[in-house]
Each structure stands twice: as C-alpha cells, then as structure tokens.
Amino acid sequence: MAIEPFLSTSPQRGFTGIVVFQAIVVLAMIATVFGLIVENVDVGDQVSKTVPCYFAIFGLAELFELYLTLDALYFRNIIEMFGILAFHGGMLVYSAIQIHETKNAVLHSAQCGSHCESLPALWSKVEKLLIVVPAILGASLLGLCFVARALYDEFGWAIFHHLGANPAMKRMYRWYQIMIILVKMDWFFFTGLTLQLLVVVLNRDSAEFGVTIAAIPVVMILLVGSAIALKREIKWLMAFSLLLFCASQAYFIFKFVRYYSPSTEAQYVSTRATLSVFTIISFLLVFASFAIGLRCFADFDKGLRQSKTNEAPQTRPKLGHSAPGSPMYEQNQSYGLQRQISIE
C-alpha cells in the first residue's frame, strides 16, 4: 500500500482546515477586544498590559499549533497529533482564565482617564467577545478529535520500513518522538511565561528582571542542545542537557513562590492565575523531559541513530516510465513504502 502525499487526503486537509479556521476566528475576536480596550484604557498601565500580552501569547500559540500540525502530518506522527489535541485543550483553559484577568484589567485600570465611568459598559461588550474564544476552541477541539481518529486509521497501518519488525526498535523510536515533542512544548511554555513576566510584571530595574533575561539564553541552549544530542546520540551533550533540565526545575519553583510571597505578590496580582498555570505546566514538562530524556539516553548506541538522522520523508517517484514486471518497476513500487512515518 503506497503512502499518500502530504495533505492529499480529506482527513489531512480537514485537520489543517480546522486549525486554520479557528485561528482566524480566535485572533479576530482578540484583536477586536484589543482595539476596544486601547480606545478606552491606557495599556501602558501595569494592570492593563495584560491585554496586549494575552493577544501576543495567543498569536504565538496559534502559529505554534499550525507548525505542529504541518509537522505531524508531514511526518505521519500520530504521537505529535495527540500532543496537538492536548495543546489545543490547554489553549481552551487559558482562554477561559483570561476572561477573569481581562475583567480585572478593564475595570481596575488606574489610568482610564475620562473613560472611567464607561468601563462597565465597555466590559459588557468585551466579555461577549471573550466568551466566543473558548466556545470556538471547544467546538474546534471536538472537530479535531473526530478527524484525528480518521488520521489514526489512515496512518495506523504504516511502520518504519527501515526499522523492520523489531518491536524493541519501534519502542525506542517512540520514546525518542515523545522526547522531541516535549522539547517543542518546553520552548513554547517557557517563551510564553517569559513574555508575560517581562512585559506585564517585572520592573526593568529589579534584580529578578535580570535573572529572567539571563535565563533565556540558558534555556534556549538547553533545548537546542538536547535536540541535537538526542538525534545524533552525543552522550556528553545529553548528560549536560539532563543536568540543566534538572536544575531548571528550581527556577520554576522560585518563580512560583514569588507569585504568592507576601513581599512580592502585589506585582503579580493582575496575571497571577495565568502565570501560575504556565509555571506549573512548564515545571511538569521539564520534569517529564528529564525523565524521558533518561530513558532515551539509555537507548543510545542500540542501532537507532540512523533512523533518527534519516527522518525526512522522500517523495514517491513517478512510476509510469518503467514497464510492469520489470525489475525497475518492482523497485519503484517498493520505494514508495520507504517514506518515514512516525510510529503510532
């Protein structure tokens, strides 16, 4: 059975279409909210900075989800498909939390100027638009789950041709794929958390601002280094990455404590719920990355490296130039089955 080309089947196009459609609707709603608030509230106020930051994070999230979708479909990665569903569910939760935090930003703004009396009416308009966001995300999640089932059936028959029927090799590659997805998720949640801290909360003259800035290159090096170490099975780099994964958990614990410490909780009041969610998820993802990274490290030098470094799917060649029954025809027929497909 030949492998269908990228985005050539109805389930693939349907999954991508749902992701693109909901992204357009959601971003349109948030952009409208942002425009209404900018007209009535000074978004330079610390509390009101919640709104542009919310818009920026959702824009980043939608682009990230589209990237994951195209990546998962291109590599026939069922595991990443489930990761997309989980990520979409996280966006749904985040959008629900933001209704409360945007309300605080609108009604409790210290710099509303002459518009203060009209803020309740403004919130009445904004609230309706914000409620649309989780509604669209919830409906699209149901659609994605339905189409994902069809994709599971479409991709489920395929195994890695170059891995053969060895279940141990399939199991090792499955752990490797999970680890790569975790690294991608680590990047997004760390970026989202850092964006909120730098834009909304922290004073540029504070020591914590410097610590947060300093953490950015360290984490980026960690994520890139761990991905390279995993793919090329570089033991010393993987060991170093695992140490950084372990150490970075202390950073997230430190941040979480700051949100609720009596001496510092005031500066986080407008975004504490969102920051707490991002910090907890980041901590859990880093912990999972450390644990599964150990599992992948144990699989080094067991014959999987060639499969990792030869992941790019190959385009099926045209078959019309070889006569049926000829050796070249048979070779071309089998060649189409050699495209890399992620294990279900």
Give the DSSP letter string of 109-169: -S--GGGGGGHHHHHHHHHHHHHHHHHHHHHHHHHHHHHHHHHHHHHTT---GGGTT-HHH
Q: Domain check: are 306 and 165 in the same one?
A: yes
Per cent of the chain over pLDDT 90 is: 31
For residue 105, give its domain range. 8-158
Q: Domain check: are 305 and 191 in the same one?
A: yes
Query: Residue 177 above 60 pLDDT?
Result: yes
pTM: 0.81
SS3 (DSSP) at 324: coil
| Integer angstrom CA distances of residue 146 from 135, 139, 141, 157 | 17, 11, 9, 19
Amino acid 343: pLDDT: 47
Q: What mean pLDDT comes out for the span 1-20?
A: 83
Query: Domain boundary at 116, 132, 158, which?
Result: 158
Amino acid 138: pLDDT: 95
Q: Domain check: are 140 and 259 in the same one?
A: no
Amino acid 123: pLDDT: 82
DSSP single-letter state for residue 336 = G
For 176, the token pair is 């490797």
Query: Residue 159 above 60 pLDDT?
Result: no
Chain mean pLDDT for the chain: 80
Tell me: the pLDDT tens digits for 228-273? 999 898 999 999 999 999 988 988 998 899 888 888 777 777 678 7
Q: Count of domains in the chain? A: 2
By the 8 A CB rule, do 297 and 304 touch? Answer: no
Q: Domain check: are 117 and 180 in the same one?
A: no
By the 8 A CB rule, do 193 and 278 touch? Answer: yes
Tell me: the pLDDT tens digits for 277-332? 889 999 999 999 999 999 999 989 887 777 666 655 554 444 444 445 554 444 44
